[in-house]
Amino acid sequence: MKKQRFTFIAAALAAALAVPAVLFAPAAWAHAMLDHAVPAVGGTTQGSPGELRIAFTQNIVASFSGAELKTADGAAIPTGKAIVDPASPNVLRAPIGQKLKPGLYIVTWHVVSVDSHRSSGSYKFTVAP
């Protein structure tokens, strides 16, 4: 009887200690998610930007990360090879290959974080006349 009670108490204590570890350590399981971008997510920029700068919540791996730029009607806009900013390893940079006309643009991105998790998404921005 005492052994069963001790086993129950030990199991209950282990479970009680495991709950905070699961609740307060989500970063260990997290993916690199979009933090902010230039041009800004949902924002409007005056004039054509020269590059896309997309910042993530974790450092990313350049060889498995990239971005595409399209017009609102789906026409692809050429971008140069995306690189990870050497000064900020959580920032993906992609030069824009041409001057953007006024209008709505869609950025589609995909990254692999340094902990090997893949994530992707998209956002829009507007170039004002």
Asked if residues 82 and 90 have their Cβ atoms less than 8 Å apart, the reply is no
pLDDT digits (tens, 9 = 90+) for 91-123: 999 999 899 999 999 999 999 999 999 999 999
Tell me what pLDDT residue 6 has: 53
Tell me the whole-structure pTM to 2 decimals: 0.76
Nearest 5°: the CA angle 120, 123, 129 is 150
Instruction: List the chain domain ranges.
Output: 1-29, 31-128
Mean pLDDT rounded to a whole number for the chain: 86
Whether the CA torsion 34, 35, 41, 44 is positive or negative: it is negative
- In the structure, what pLDDT confidence band is assigned to residue 26 with cuts at 50, 70 and 90? very low
Considering the four listed CATH numbers 1.10.10.10, 1.10.3720.10, 2.60.40.1220, 3.40.50.10490, the one that applies to the domain covering 31-128 is 2.60.40.1220
Strand order in the sheet with 76-77: 44-46, 118-128, 103-112, 66-71, 76-77
What letter would DSSP give residue 43? -
DSSP, collapsed to helix, strand or coil, labels residue 44 as: strand
